[in-house]
Structure 1
């Protein structure tokens, strides 16, 4: 048995007693086919292109019209020695490095330190870039969430989760749900593609883990025909994301009060959907009503990873609400909106 045959062996992907023969398509029945997943590759490239066009033709003019303004940044004098160190070694040199660079450049240590502060400031993502990125994500998440609701609201298995497993795995795939699944997978693949170019955030590592877990879950659940369960999980997770992106946009527009109100709504939806609705309803039925086999164990593992990330982000969200909104502490973006490159203004000003 070859590696491919081992990987796709029905005992790993399907419950006991079921084989891939049971999943063969007929004239009136269609089931998820593993090769469908390949459509996510051109889908991801298409979404990257759509995003590029959207940000320049819609988000950028919108940001300018609404008054998004970037602060002027000091320009550094060209210096090959300092630039080489900044690019190849470190953006934040230690004291001994500053002394060494000062000697090499024939500058005062204070001047070298100032050069690096201004150089870091130069590399910060602009406010307009952050606004355009948030606008794109808001548009996608808003469209995805309400499209998902429209697809699911009349499905009996949404309201009675026991029906999710009725006659599994021989559950015909509705074309609309199949395309919705592939759209979500394409989107998360596009996020991985653009990750090096997007605003780098404080929870960058957690975001990478999240993307890997999400892509894995969508992939394996589609191949194992767990589309009913997977679609509900995706819609529950999309419920709060567009609200967060709207709060970011308002923050970049300096609409402080409105931003705070939207963020409180986001916090309520995020915590209720990720820490209550998902684990106590959707995931509960998945754990208690479904027989275990290999792919189910894989899905369990990655769902636990996601839930740990939900707890981590919920802690950050609550921390921000208590510290910033209730106690009036200095504003910082919480969760995925905290840029790693953003230090305090005092650090990057002379």
Structure 2
């Protein structure tokens, strides 16, 4: 216990987290009746709110998104189960990537043809693939949330001076009052990212699973620290910039799963432009530039400043990674004449080698 207290004392040192000549008592909620400082104890609220958000998502997906998806002709196609063959199941649990030599060995061991083993593997892999309706419901939930979050954030920030003059983020810092609408904006946003950290493990598995997980954790850490140190103004700008393009991304996926390819292509094109403008333009050249260049001219620097900036740069690196994927999809879409794939498509971890893939295609052609 003594080691823990010593560690926490040094970790939360005022010389690290606060500007010079400022103490934790100076920015406590009770420090000044005229200034409503943020309360670090309120950071516990988003955790139970996250479970409430998961419950809301379940209700909306079951009673709204799924019926809408079905009305659009999206079906829940339950994957066909392969026959129960313990030897193949054991081999699948050990390795989900089967080479042609392994297929030959299993076929010989079980007195089966290679095509029978390949068909079993194809059906077994199909058990891990979510239905189109499931993916449609997931995207619908995120689209609805981002519409709400972006709208609420924009309405909340519209009369705030720092939306129009970003230098106001540092005026009188750290003695800035948090209003009730900003409080709710922060709490709801954090609860959403906490819910994503949970739901990500049972949602549709994506290729960028760990990148997204790092993104969620970095966002939560950044929001928590900015709340504790009272740097919430710059945090609200980061949130509203992030939500803008996400609406169109989820809408494009919904259109694709619904069979409206031309609508999907149009939305994706607009999304690509908006993503680049907000994530590669506004975010680094407005927000990060201000926190890196302008802020030191307004407030005295302190070590936590570098922590915040490092987290912002980490988010920017993730944005650059996703921008590469987006432009790759856009390039392939232009060549194909329509959007193909999904920049966060289902993982390809269960793929087999090229020889097996060719054999499976040949088998399907024979069956036709």
Which bin holds the TM-score, normalised by the shorter protein? over 0.9
Show the counterpart of 1:6.
Answer: 10
Q: Does 1:296 align with 2:305?
A: yes
Show the counterpart of 2:88.
Answer: 82
Aligned partners of 1:76 and 1:115 also within 8 Å: yes
1:223 CA drift (Å): 1.0
1:109 CA drift (Å): 2.8
For 2:341 and 2:229, how far apart are their aligned partners in 1? 39
Show the counterpart of 1:53.
Answer: 59
What secondary structure, in the 3-state scheme, does the structure 1 residue paired with 2:207 have?
A: coil
Counterpart among 68, 75, 80 of residue 69 in structure 1: 75
1:259-274 mapped onto 2 (5 Å cutoff)? 259-274=264-279
Aligned partners of 2:241 and 2:283 also within 8 Å: yes
Show the counterpart of 2:20.
Answer: 16
1:202 CA drift (Å): 1.7
Show the counterpart of 1:306.
Answer: 315
Aligned partners of 1:81 and 1:104 also within 8 Å: no
For 1:39 and 1:287, how far apart are their aligned partners in 2? 31
What secondary structure, in the 3-state scheme, does the structure 1 residue paired with 2:68 have?
A: helix
What secondary structure, in the 3-state scheme, does the structure 2 residue paired with 1:262 have?
A: helix
Q: Does 1:235 align with 2:240?
A: yes
1:146-161 mapped onto 2 (5 Å cutoff)? 146-161=151-166
- Tell me the alpha carbon deviations over residues 204-230 of structure 1, each in whole angstroms, 9 at most, x when there is no partner: 222122112211111111111111000
1:245 CA drift (Å): 0.3
Show the counterpart of 1:250.
Answer: 255
Aligned partners of 2:226 and 2:232 also within 8 Å: yes
Structure 1 residues 15 and 333: CA distance shift in structure 2, 3 A: farther
Q: Does 1:36 align with 2:24?
A: no
Aligned partners of 2:14 and 2:22 also within 8 Å: yes
Give unpaired runs (5+ residues) of structure 1: none
TM-score with structure 1 setting the length: 0.93
1:48 CA drift (Å): 1.2
1:283 CA drift (Å): 1.8
Number of residue pairs aligned between Structure 1 and Structure 2: 346
1:198 CA drift (Å): 0.8
Aligned partners of 1:25 and 1:31 also within 8 Å: yes
What secondary structure, in the 3-state scheme, does the structure 1 residue paired with 2:83 have?
A: coil
Show the counterpart of 1:219.
Answer: 224
Show the counterpart of 2:341.
Answer: 333
1:71 CA drift (Å): 5.0
- Tell me the alpha carbon deviations over residues 122-167 of structure 1, each in whole angstroms, 9 at most, x when there is no partner: 3211101100000000011110001000000111121111111111
Show the counterpart of 1:282.
Answer: 287
Aligned partners of 1:316 and 1:334 also within 8 Å: no
What secondary structure, in the 3-state scheme, does the structure 2 residue paired with 1:335 have?
A: coil
Aligned partners of 2:326 and 2:343 also within 8 Å: yes
For 1:166 and 1:7, how far apart are their aligned partners in 2? 27
Show the counterpart of 2:332.
Answer: 323
For 1:147 and 1:154, how far apart are their aligned partners in 2? 12
RMSD: 2.0
1:70 CA drift (Å): 4.4
For 2:238 and 2:339, how far apart are their aligned partners in 1? 32
What secondary structure, in the 3-state scheme, does the structure 2 residue paired with 1:290 have?
A: helix
What secondary structure, in the 3-state scheme, does the structure 1 residue paired with 2:317 have?
A: helix
Structure 1 residues 73 and 38: CA distance shift in structure 2, 3 A: closer
Aligned partners of 2:261 and 2:338 also within 8 Å: no
1:237 CA drift (Å): 0.7
1:118 CA drift (Å): 1.4
For 1:45 and 1:293, how far apart are their aligned partners in 2? 36
